[in-house]
Amino acid sequence: MHVANTFRRITAHATDELIGSLFWIPLLVSIWKLSREESEVILSWQWIGGLWIAKMTYEVLCLYVLQALPAQHFFGLKIMSTHRPELGLGLGQVIIRVLVAQLKYVLGPAIYFMALFHRQRQHLGDILAETQVVQFNDRAFEPKVRFVMGSVLVYFSLVTNLSKNMDLVSSGMIQREGIAIQFSQSYLKTISATQ
């Protein structure tokens, strides 16, 4: 087993994110239907939380059974325990890895860019869960520590995503009942004109 190729990991991660986004389709369909009738839609926290839990459950099951998400598996990647690789992934490791991955919604890809600080290419979730992404075939080059590049990417990711989240909070979209989405009248006119 070899440390996973960075480009292969990025490609697999992007594909898995695309697959995971399918869990949000019911929510998007609901928003679309409600937007035709009202100029403001409030998505309840129960709706959002239920879909989020369903997506995390899917990820936990895939990691525990396949030891990879579907695209990672397809690209020949596997997630292994760093302290006892012969036993496979423990359920606790899988849950920690999936929970830490949810920080991407607040911190952005900074948690993944941290992998550039390690020769083993472990990101924040890997470090805390004591896991590592590996590939079965040989690498063309051994991984190098990319401290400067990693620092710049982590910094810009944190600054960008934290400012976006602060804007979201100050916009008034986040309410006690849920997240409020407002539609402009021109948008509603466009929808009704196409029917």
List, in order, residues 6 or more apart from 87 with CB less than 8 Å away: 81
Residues in the chain with pLDDT values less than 70:
184-195
pLDDT at position 155 is 93
pLDDT at position 185 is 53
pLDDT at position 184 is 63
pTM higher than 0.95 for the full model?
no
pLDDT at position 192 is 46
Which of 131, 128, 43 shows the shortest CA–CA distance to 89? 131
pLDDT, tens digit (0-9, with 9 covering 90-100), for 103-136: 998 888 998 998 899 888 899 999 999 999 998 8
What is the three-state SS of the chain? CEECCHHHHHHHHHHHHHHHHHHHHHHHHHHHHHHCCCCEEEEEHHHHHHHHHHHHHHHHHHHHHHCCCHHHHHCCEEEEECCCHHHCCCHHHHHHHHHHHCCHHHHCCHHHHHHHHCCCCCCHHHHHHCEEEEECCCCCCCCCCCHHHHHHHHHHHHHHHHHHHHHHHHCCCECCCEEEEECCHHHHHHHHHHC
Total domains, the chain: 1
pLDDT at position 191 is 45
Q: How many CA atoms lie within 13 A of 123 on its CB side?
A: 24
d(CA 124, CA 148): 17
Other Cβ atoms less than 10 A from the Cβ of 79: the count is: 24
d(CA 39, CA 71): 38
pLDDT at position 99 is 94
pLDDT at position 190 is 45
Helix axes 25-35, 185-194, angle to 10 degrees: 90
Cα distances (angstroms) measured from residue 17 to each of 84, 125, 171, 187: 28, 16, 27, 28
Residue 16 lies in domain: 2-194
pLDDT at position 42 is 77
